[in-house]
Amino acid sequence: MLERHIITLRTDDAGHEDAAATRERLKAGFPPGAVRRMTQLGMLMSTILNDLAPAPDDAIVYASQYAEGRTLETYLESFPTASPTGFQTSIHPGAVQQGMIRRAQPAGDFFPMAGRDYLVGQSLLTALLAPAARVVLCGGEERGTWLATIDGASERAFAYGMILAQPAADGDARPLGRIALEPGDEAVSPLLSGAWFDLLHARKNFSGVLSPGWRATIEWQ
């Protein structure tokens, strides 16, 4: 069995908030002008990472089904007169990189992941197999508009991040809970990124097979 303790958890349920509203809500936590060209997901994830304050030797696992879907929409909507600012934002470093740039901090092991049905399960497996003593497991989505109608973007915005530590490496900290993976041969029950966020945000216990061959268990104290 693979297991890690949940030491810290941060979530931001931005829901149907658009990028401008997110920028207004979070801008006080950034240097003046810093959020002007950040993506919505970048602002959400940067705030989460700043709260978690990852150490230089922490591994980071980042999972997103659609990533900056709304940012891409904004650029495409500027055609046929393509927006230079929209282009720059659409090719901006990903959400985690935006957060680490803000912190002026390099990342040690960084595992960016994308997917759909098995994304949650595979990100958990990556986090629990990482050799680092502590792992930051994080993810999120931007709220899309017309891309969401064709399954090209998320219908809501959210972000989460947690610090996971090996049971023998969490010191005197009282863990919030635990995440474990053990072999399981039952049929996979996919948990998409939005449902995964809801589970974390509400701190609900969970047990199920999220990727082929692995049963995940989450228990909160």
Domain hosting 168: range is 2-220
Burial readout 130-168 (b: 16 or more C-beta within 10 A, e: otherwise): bebbbbbbbbbbbbbeebbeeeebbbbbbbbbbbbbbee
Closest CA to 204 of 186, 181, 183, 179: 179
Decide if 111 contacts 29 (C-beta within 8 A): no
**88's tokens:** 């720059």
pTM of the model: 0.89
CB neighbourhood size of 126 (10 A) = 18
CA-to-CA distance for 173 and 55, rounded, in angstroms?
16
Task: Please give the DSSP secondary-structure letter assigned to residue 67.
Answer: S
Predicted pLDDT at 79: 73
Which residues make Cβ contacts (< 8 Å) with residue 142, sequence separation at least 6?
Answer: 19, 39, 40, 41, 66, 67, 68, 69, 70, 71, 153, 154, 157
CA-to-CA distance for 220 and 141, rounded, in angstroms?
24
Distances, alpha carbon 97 to alpha carbons 43, 109, 183, in Å: 11, 13, 33
The enclosing domain of 106 has a CATH number of 3.40.47
Report the domain count for the chain.
Answer: 1
pLDDT in tens, the chain (221 residues): 899 999 999 999 999 999 899 999 999 988 887 777 788 999 999 999 999 999 999 999 999 999 877 777 777 777 776 666 655 555 556 777 776 777 767 777 999 999 999 999 999 999 999 999 999 999 999 998 888 899 988 999 999 999 999 886 555 568 999 999 999 888 888 899 999 999 999 999 999 999 999 999 999 99
